[in-house]
Amino acid sequence: MGTHFPIENYKNSEGKNFNSNDLKGKISFINFWSTHCEPCLEELPYLNKLKELSGEKVNFIAITYDSKEKVDQFLTKKPFNFQHITDSGQELKSYFTLLRNPMTFMVDKNGNIQEITGTIEETKFEILQKIVKESF
């Protein structure tokens, strides 16, 4: 914990790498998921609700190794209102050897990982909601 989250190793929707300062100034929820991961799909309502309650005060980023086309097709059927980083298989292998889906990193206003949690269900949602409210 307290380690810098390497957002600069990922590409935005324009294909350019993020800047290491892109996470600074706001807390961030970074969710690792895939379109065929059942626990990932089960937590989507909680993640969307968290974003809805927080608005623009928090960064919400979803990272997957799935292709942009696959994610775009998925999003036509199910809402997932995060900023999406797709096609990230290489980056995920390079930096997170023990990563499993779903997993959510909570990153502080300085871009450092503060907490890592697995599947978000009702109890975890209430805890995360409280953390978000206290950070404003």
Residues 46-91: tens digit of each pLDDT: 999 999 988 888 999 999 999 999 999 999 999 999 999 999 888 8
Token reading at 2:
């307290």
User: Strand, coil or helix: what is 76?
Assistant: helix
**Per the domain annotation, does 6 fall within a domain?**
no
**Residue 33's domain spans which residues?**
26-135
The C-alpha atoms of residue 5 and residue 20 are separated, in whole angstroms, by 8
Q: What confidence tens digit (pLDDT) does each residue in 88-105 have?
A: 888 877 766 666 789 999
For residue 48, being part of any structural domain is answered with yes
The rounded distance, in Å, linking the Cα atoms of 127 and 34 is: 24
Q: Is residue 12 part of a domain?
A: no
User: How far apart are the C-alpha atoms of 41 and 31, rounded to whole Å?
Assistant: 12
Residue 17 lies in a domain: no
| Average pLDDT, integer, range 3-8 | 91
Is residue 5, in this structure, part of any structural domain at all?
A: no
Read off the CATH number of the domain in which 54 is found: 3.40.30.10
How many structural domains compose the chain?
1
